[in-house]
Amino acid sequence: MMATASALSPSARADTSLPPCPQSNPVITPSGTSPQVDCTLHSGDLDFAVKYWSVPELPKPRAVKVTVSDPSGVVVQTIDELLEPSTPGGVGLQDIDGDGREELIIPISQNLLNGGNPNTRFAVWRGHGDSRHYERTQMVGQAVYPSGDGYLVSNGGGLSSRDLTFYLPTGAGYTLVVVLTIEVLEADPATKKALTVNCRAHQEDGLHAVDMSIRQAEDYFCNSPAARAIWPDAERVQIKRWGVFGN
């Protein structure tokens, strides 16, 4: 999947003829949809002109261009994303990490994971501080939200197994720190309520950013607010037994 971003010359001007987008919040939930139409979004003092590219023989757009401009109409960045026919919705703005500034979110596709459960692949373009430049991070899940302890979490998976991906907000977008898999081991046959669950961490290169080993990361993140919120009433059972070197 190709994505590009570029800064334009000071003479480039934004298209001011587009109407406001009918929905500003992005949709990445399993069943939600939103329109894909040429329109404009606004956040802070920046405007985002959204234009889709399509061909007559295909039912949905295959690409989108977002032109970011300042209050004077000068273009400060252009963002291009290729889309798949399964994409569930249009471009949106939302402060997903709780830093007070909205991120640009572009749904790319929707795929079935963990037993046929729809999960959305989407690009998050983040501007750091007062910068007018946005950096891209690709994520997958059914929801994305602040972790409660300084991280961003994408929550994906299925009915009996959840994958939580923790990201650290940085000046270059987001650094992927660790992925947790929280799996139901035993459920009540009548109510389907989870009785026991297991939480496992997967090695990621981003652990160096938080100075943790994989064992330390599992201990910390499996007990984080975001992880504890998944099947909160179930008993936590540890299956993995760490060796001498934490492997």
Q: What are the angstrom distances between the C-alpha of 182 and each of 70, 136, 201, 223? A: 43, 27, 9, 11
- Region 146-171 average pLDDT: 95
Domain boundary among 142, 174, 207: 142
Question: For residue 3, is pLDDT > 90?
Answer: no
User: pLDDT grade, residue 51 (50/70/90)?
Assistant: very high
Question: For residue 35, is pLDDT > 80?
Answer: yes
Most confident listed range (16-20, 36-40, 52-56): 36-40
Question: For residue 9, is pLDDT > 60?
Answer: no
Asked whether residue 26 falls in the same domain as residue 114, the answer is yes
DSSP string, 32-71: ------SEEEEETTEEEEEEEE--TTSSS-SEEEEEEE-T
Count other Cβ atoms within 10 Å, centred on residue 105. Answer: 24
- Mean pLDDT for all residues in the chain: 91
Domain boundary among 106, 125, 142: 142
User: pLDDT grade, residue 61 (50/70/90)?
Assistant: confident
Question: For residue 183, is pLDDT > 90?
Answer: yes
- Region 86-113 average pLDDT: 95
* 13-27, 111-125, 172-186, 233-247, range with the lowest pLDDT: 233-247
pLDDT of residue 113: 85
How many separate domains does the chain show? Answer: 2
User: pLDDT grade, residue 57 (50/70/90)?
Assistant: confident
Rounded to two decimals, the pTM is: 0.89
Q: Percentage of residues in the chain with pLDDT exceeding 90?
A: 80
- C-beta separation of 133 from 103 below 8 A: no
Owning domain of residue 232: 147-241
**Residue predicted with more confidence, 70 or 1:** 70
pLDDT of residue 176: 96
Asked whether residue 104 falls in the same domain as residue 152, the answer is no
- Region 212-222 average pLDDT: 95
Backbone torsions φ then ψ of 62, nearest 5 degrees: -110, -5
Question: For residue 11, is pLDDT > 90?
Answer: no
Asked whether residue 99 falls in the same domain as residue 210, the answer is no
Question: For residue 13, is pLDDT > 80?
Answer: no
Asked whether residue 57 falls in the same domain as residue 77, the answer is yes
Q: Is residue 48 part of a domain?
A: yes
Of the candidates 205, 203, 184, 206, which has an alpha carbon nearest to the alpha carbon of residue 193?
184
In one-letter notation, the amino acid at residue 66 is: V
Asked whether residue 63 falls in the same domain as residue 16, the answer is yes
pLDDT of residue 86: 93
Asked whether residue 164 falls in the same domain as residue 114, the answer is no
Asked whether residue 94 falls in the same domain as residue 212, the answer is no
Q: How many helices (H) and strands (E) in the chain? A: 2, 15
Asked whether residue 75 falls in the same domain as residue 196, the answer is no
pLDDT in tens, 204-214: 888 999 999 99
Q: Map tokens 């949809």 to a residue.
A: 33
Question: For residue 2, is pLDDT > 70?
Answer: no
Asked whether residue 226 falls in the same domain as residue 157, the answer is yes
Q: What are the angstrom distances between the C-alpha of 32 and each of 14, 94, 113, 121, 247? A: 30, 16, 17, 14, 40
